[in-house]
Chains A and B, each alone.
Chain A
Amino acid sequence: EPEVTQTPSHQVTQMGQEVILRCVPISNHLYFYWYRQILGQKVEFLVSFYNNEISEKSEIFDDQFSVERPDGSNFTLKIRSTKLEDSAMYFCASSGDSFSTDTQYFGPGTRLTVL
């Protein structure tokens, strides 16, 4: 069964460093998303991406964050200068093939630890 994959599974970085989190969405999907879950808190929406541009972003998704689909398969989230409060589990999701847009499938997540 097709699935969303994410790498790395765990990333440790120093405050102020740049990180890139990678996702491979399900191959025929058209909509891509990033969410995060700070330990003990709700899963929060960050950004959605469609047709090579951001379709919606939350107030969390400030200028420190960017997303890119550099080729036909990868979808990346870049955090330019990480802060301690960026430590969280980051989930990528995808949805929407030719037949249906209504179900988001999630990857296993990348745990980001900022020291």
Chain B
Amino acid sequence: GEDVEQSLFLSVREGDSSVINCTYTDSSSTYLYWYKQEPGAGLQLLTYIFSNMDMKQDQRLTVLLNKKDKHLSLRIADTQTGDSAIYFCAVTTDSWGKLQFGAGTQVVVTP
């Protein structure tokens, strides 16, 4: 079945850019998402990209998709302390289908 992998931890200084990486195995993954989870809270949808796109920019967030390598990344520009959270990559082959999640990357922003 589908496997989604993420690095577990990222430490970044306030004001720097953060890059969170994700790899997946199913080449038919069509919809790819990034969710954010703050302590004690649910999963907040941050952004998403379709497999027919290479890049999507949304304010401080940039998503890059390399379909050949099955690699997805999320770049956060000018990282703030409020960006400290766990970031989950999730993929699905159908718009209504189940999401397959990575284990999440804990991002810690230091002053």
Q: Which residues of A contact B (CB under 8 A)?
A: 4, 6, 31, 33, 35, 41-45, 48, 50, 55-56, 58, 91, 93, 95-96, 100-109
Contacts and interface: CB of A to CB of B under 8 A. Distances in A.
Given A100-B95, A101-B96, 8 more contacts: A6-B42, A42-B101, A42-B102, A42-B104, A45-B98, A95-B95, A104-B99, A106-B43
Given A35-B99, A101-B96, A43 B88 contact: yes
A58 to B, nearest CB: 7
Given A42-B102, A43-B88, A55 B42 contact: no
Interface of B: 31, 33, 35, 41-45, 48, 50, 88, 90, 95-104
B43 A91 contact: yes
A105 B98 contact: no
Contacts of A107: 42
| Cβ-closest 7 pairs across A and B | A108-B42, A45-B98, A102-B95, A106-B43, A43-B101, A101-B95, A106-B42
A93 B35 CA distance: 13
Listed residue (A43, A56, A105) with the most chain B CB atoms within 10 angstroms of its CB: A43
10 contacts: A6-B42, A33-B99, A42-B101, A43-B99, A45-B100, A93-B43, A101-B95, A102-B50, A105-B45, A109-B42
A56 B104 CA distance: 24
A58 B12 CA distance: 37
Listed residue (B31, B41, B97, B102) with the most chain A CB atoms within 10 angstroms of its CB: B97
B100 A31 contact: no
Contacts of A45: 98-100
A58 B101 CA distance: 14
Contacts of A100: 95
A45 B91 CA distance: 12
B96 A31 contact: yes
